[in-house]
Amino acid sequence: MNKKEIIQQYKATPTFYGVIQIKNDQTGQTFIDVAPNLHNRWGYYQTNLNGNFYHDTALQDDWNTLGAEHFSYSVLWKKDATDVVNLRHKLRDLKAEWLEKCQPAYNQH
């Protein structure tokens, strides 16, 4: 494929927004977040955690102490982004709903 075809294929790929979970497989503690585009989101979080981006948080402390191999990632809920009029508003409401539902330990302050 040439560059133009690759770009067209990328643009034609559906975009999904949703709710993700990072779980400490040793303690069972979880972190919940929302993402406007779920494509390669685990890589995004791994890069940030490896770079100490979430400093001063229990998630970052456990990541640094235990190592990446003791954490897992999952998508808890997803939906096609083409159906949303105001994605930012939808994500804010979605995050509040899932934080209330799951009460994740790593999101507590």
Q: What is the mean pLDDT of the chain?
A: 93
Q: What is the pTM of this model?
A: 0.87
Higher-pLDDT residue of 10, 92: 92
**Quick one: pLDDT at residue 7?**
81
72 - beta bridge partners? 23
Q: What is the pLDDT of residue 99?
A: 97
pLDDT for 57-67, tens place per residue? Answer: 999 999 999 99
Angstrom distance (rounded) from CA 109 to CA 105: 9
CATH of 15-107, one of 3.30.830.10, 2.40.160.40, 3.40.1440.10, 3.10.105.10: 3.40.1440.10
Domain boundaries along the sequence of the chain: 15-107
pLDDT tens for 48-92 read 999 999 998 999 999 999 999 999 999 999 999 887 889 999 999
The rounded distance, in Å, linking the Cα atoms of 82 and 95 is 19
Cα 24 to Cα 30, 41, 65, 81, 106: the distances in Å are: 6, 17, 12, 29, 10
Angle, CA of 20, 24 and 59, to the nearest 5°: 80
Q: Retrieve residue 32's tokens.
A: 């919940």
